[in-house]
Amino acid sequence: MIYQIYPRSYQDSNGDGIGDLLGIVQRLPYIASLGVDAIWISPFFTSPMKDFGYDVSDYCDVDPMFGTLADFDALVDTAHKLGMKVMIDLVLSHTSDQHAWFTESRANRTNDKADWYVWSDPKPDGTPPNNWLSIFGGSAWQWDARREQYYLHNFLVSQPDLNFHNEEVVQAVLNATQFWLDRGVDGFRLDTINFYYADNELRDNPPLPAEERNANIAPSVNPYNHQMHLHSKNQPENLEFLRKFRALLDQYGAAAVGEVGDAQLGLDLLGEYTAGEDFVQMCYAFELLAKDTPTPERLAQVFAKVDEVAADGWACWAFSNHDVMRHVSRWNLTPAAARAFCTLMMCLRGSVCIYQGEELGLPEADVPFEALQDPYGIEFWPEFKGRDGCRTPMVWEPSNQNGGFSAHQPWLPVSNEHLQMSVADQEEDPAALLHHYRRAIAFRRAHPALVAGDHSGVQATDDIVHFIRMAKGQQIFCAFNLSDSPTALTMPDGNWQPIGAELGSAHPSADGKLHLGPWQCALALHV
C-alpha cells in the first residue's frame, strides 16, 4: 500500500509557496495514520523545473527549492520511525539539457560523453532521421547546431534521451541509484521504464490504425496516438538492464515499481518486466487511470488480460496520480461511488497506490489558463488543460485561501471547492471519506488474501463485479455493485461468514442471495 506525494504541493515549510521535504516530514504522522506501508515521493532532484523535476540536472542532490540532503535524511529517518518505507521517483530515460552530462555530450562529436545521448545525422534533405514523435507534441528530434546533429527527446525538447546502448551510461545511472540506496531509500518508482532503449537502427514507427488508438498515455488531440511506438521504446535490451538493476536492489533488500507507458502493450510489458525474480517487483498499470469509468465488464477484461500475460507478475493499481485528472471528476463519482471504488481497489490482486488528496475525495481543480504552469497543458489548451488540475496544493485546514499549505501565495491556486474538504474538517466528521479510506486500508492489511493472494478470476454479472481472493488457506469473496440501482447475486457454494461491516458490506439472505444496494459491496470469509 503506497501513498504518492507530489512534493511541490504537499506542505510548504518555509513560506515560499512551494512544498518541500521538511513540509513532508511535518505531515508524515498524518500519512502514517492512514495505515499505508510506504510513501512514493515524486522527483525532488536538482532541476531547472521545465517539467517540474522530471528533467533532472543532478541525480545525486536535492533541488534547493525542496531543501537539502540533510532534510531528505530527516525524512527517511522519520518515515522509518513511523513504520513506513520510502520510495523515490527515478527518471532514468532522459535528463535535463542542463545536466553536466549533456553539456559535455553536445559540445562536439569526440568528447568522452559524445555517445551518452541518442544523436543522429539528419537525412540528406536535412530533416530528422525518422518519424518518431514526442509525447509533448511535435517531432521527437531536436537540431543542435554545435554538433550539426539531431538529439532524441521523447518528452520536452529540454529532456534529451540517454543512450542506454552505451555501458558507461548504464553504470552511471546504477551509481546514481546506489547513491540513494546508501542513504536509506527502500525502493524506487521508475519513470517511463519502457523508454530506456531506442532502436539502434532508428527505424520509422509504423502508423497505428485509428480504431486501435486510445488516450491512456497521451490526450486524443496529440498526434503521438497515431503511431505504434515499435522502435522508439519497448526494446528487448531493456530486460538485460532490468536484470542489472534488480541485482543492485537485491543487495539492499529494496523494491521497484516500473511505470509502463504504452497504450497498446502496457499489460504485456507489465508481465514481461515483473516475471520471475530477475526484473522489477511490480509495474504501475494505466488501465484504471483511463478516462472511462471501469464497468464490471471492463474490469473482467482487464484482469483476464493480466491473468493471460502476467500470471507470474504483479501489478500496482492506481485510480489517480500527478499526470491524470482526479478520478472523482474523471468518472463523475458520487460520494457513495467513491467509497465503493476505494473498497474495490483494496481488494484487487496487486499492489495499491493512492495519490495525495484522493483520500479526501478531491475533485479536479479548475485552473485558469493564466495560472497554468504545465507545459503540456499550455501546448494543447483548451482541448487538453494539462496536469495542473490534479497538482494543486493539499488542503489541510480551511482557515485561509491557502488551505494550511503555505503562508505565501502557492505556486498553483488552491481550489475553493477543495477548501471545504480539508483534512481538519474531515477528521471531525465520522462520515467523511477520509475515515472510509482508513477503514478500507486497515481491512486490506488485516487479510493476507487481499495483500498478496491470488484470485479466482474477475467476473462480471450485470452491474456486479465479483471474485474470490485466496492465500495461506484464507478465501475472501468480494462483490461490488457498480451502479445506482439495487441488484442481486447468488453467493458461491460453501460456508461464507460476512465480514467488512465497517465498509458497509451486505449480508446474504437466508436463500443465499446477495441483495446489493447502489454502490454497495459484499465481503465474506470462507469458514
Query: What are the catalytic residues?
Result: 191, 259
Distance between CA 285 and CA 290 in Å, rounded? Answer: 10
Distance between CA 173 and CA 150 in Å, rounded? Answer: 23
Distance between CA 225 and CA 210 in Å, rounded? Answer: 9
Give the helix/strand (H/E) hosting 151: strand 149-152
What residues does 227 pair with on adjacent strands? 207
Which residue reads 461511488 in cell numbers? 337
Ramachandran angles phi, psi of 503, nearest 5°:
-105, 10
SS3 call for 168: helix
Comparing CA positions, the residue from 423, 455, 358 lying closest to residue 29 is: 423
DSSP 204: P
Report the interhelical angle of 266-274 vs 296-309 (nearest 10°). Answer: 40
Distance between CA 59 and CA 101 in Å, rounded? Answer: 11
Comparing CA positions, the residue from 466, 477, 483, 467 lying closest to residue 519 is: 483
Enumerate the H helices of 333-432 as residue ranges: 335-347, 375-380, 416-419, 423-427
Comparing CA positions, the residue from 355, 347, 359, 345 lying closest to residue 433 is: 359
325 burial level (CB within 10 Å; 0-12, 13-18, 19+): middle
CB 416 within 8 A of CB 422: no
Question: 373: which 3 cell numbers?
Answer: 504552469
Distance between CA 402 and CA 393 in Å, rounded? Answer: 8
Distance between CA 375 and CA 55 in Å, rounded? Answer: 13
Residues comprising the chain, all counted: 527
The pairing of beta strand 255-259 with beta strand 187-190:
parallel
Distance between CA 43 and CA 66 in Å, rounded? Answer: 10
